[in-house]
Amino acid sequence: MNIAMGADHGGFTLKEELKTWLAGNGHRLFDAGTDSLESVDYPDFVGDVVENVLSGTADRGILICGSGIGMSITANRYHGIRAALCLDPEMARLSREHNDANVLVLAGRKTDVETAKEIVDIWLTTDFEGGRHVPRLRKIELLKPPSNAPLPK
């Protein structure tokens, strides 16, 4: 599977661990950064990952920040992306079966490496159920982000 990955400083260490593990399991990886523990802005690493997913260059994407929240919010601003923050294997399974999540978001400061590997493995190998979930996903796709949303002060 082709996987695009990105992380900020809070997810860098977990990203590096997962990259080695995923490559060892035969996956091809695109690393959108970051490349160190130096403080960076998480939105800067989302675009390359989601664009790879949306274009079909990557089958799926994985984003990691400290809590996973910032990456989730940012990724879900892109039309066609269904990013799911998963803190345990059950959330990973459900995000694929029910929501056809195409981007997995992990919390680098809340998820240990072994749990992250279990989450990623389940997320990569679980199929979308379809059926009753398809109309729900169609409703999501019809939503458009507000053009006049106020910026934080």
Cite the active site residues. 65, 98
Pairing relationship of beta strands 2-7 and 103-107 according to DSSP bridges? unpaired
CA distance 131 to 55: 25
Q: CB neighbours of 32 closer than 8 A, spacing ≥ 6?
A: 4, 5, 6, 45, 48, 49, 52
Q: Look at the alpha carbons of 18, 24, 26, 31 in this order and tell me if their dihedral is positive or negative.
A: positive
**Separation of CA 70 from chain center:** 11
Backbone region of residue 10 per phi and psi (left: phi > 0; alpha: psi in -120 to 50; beta: other values): alpha
Name the strand (E) or helix (H) holding 105.
Answer: strand 103-107
